Structures are given as C-alpha cells and as structure tokens.
Amino acid sequence: MALNKGYIIHSSCYAEQLDPYFEKFNSNNFLLLDFEELKDDTPNVLKKICDFLEIDSGFVFSGLDKIHNKTSGITVTRPL
C-alpha cells in the first residue's frame, strides 16, 4: 500500500477538518478533548464529558486503572 503523504498531513490539520461543522452548528455543541489530558487526567476529563453531556458527573467509572490495548513498546518510524 502506497503512503499518501498529502493525505496524512492534510488530515492532521484539525482546524480545517472542523471548520465545516463550526459553520453549521453552534460552538457550544462541541467538546474538544486532548488525548494527553485524557491519558494523564482521566477522571477529570470524564467529569468534563459528563458535564458537557449534562449527565451525572458524580458517576464512578470502573476499570480506569486498567490499561487496554497496550502497545508492545515497539515504535515504527516511517519517513514522510
């Protein structure tokens, strides 16, 4: 499979990807999250999600201490 460099770069331009949605919907309807924050501060990010969805933010999520789909630690670097 050939690597489409232009697609990878274009798809990482999040603002461009979101602009059409922001044109059609009020910005109050969006909750943008940062993966690093989710990974590092999961309980508070889940509370933020619950608050945004207007559901019980006091809900206690189970299994947050488990790591799912952990990588083997091997990193493959491909040139762009």
Position 77 scores a pLDDT of 66
What average pLDDT does range 24-48 have in this prediction? 92
Dihedral, CA of residue 56, residue 60, residue 66 and residue 71, to nearest 10:
10
Does pLDDT of 30 surpass 60? yes
Q: DSSP secondary-structure letter at 2?
A: -
pLDDT above 70 for 75 = no
pLDDT, average across residues 13-28: 88
Concatenating the DSSP letter of every residue in 3-68 gives --HHHHHHHT-HHHHHHHHHHHS-GGG-----HHHHHHSHHHHHHHHHHHHTS-TT---S-TTS--
Q: Which of 19-28, 42-51, 66-75 has the lowest mean pLDDT?
A: 66-75
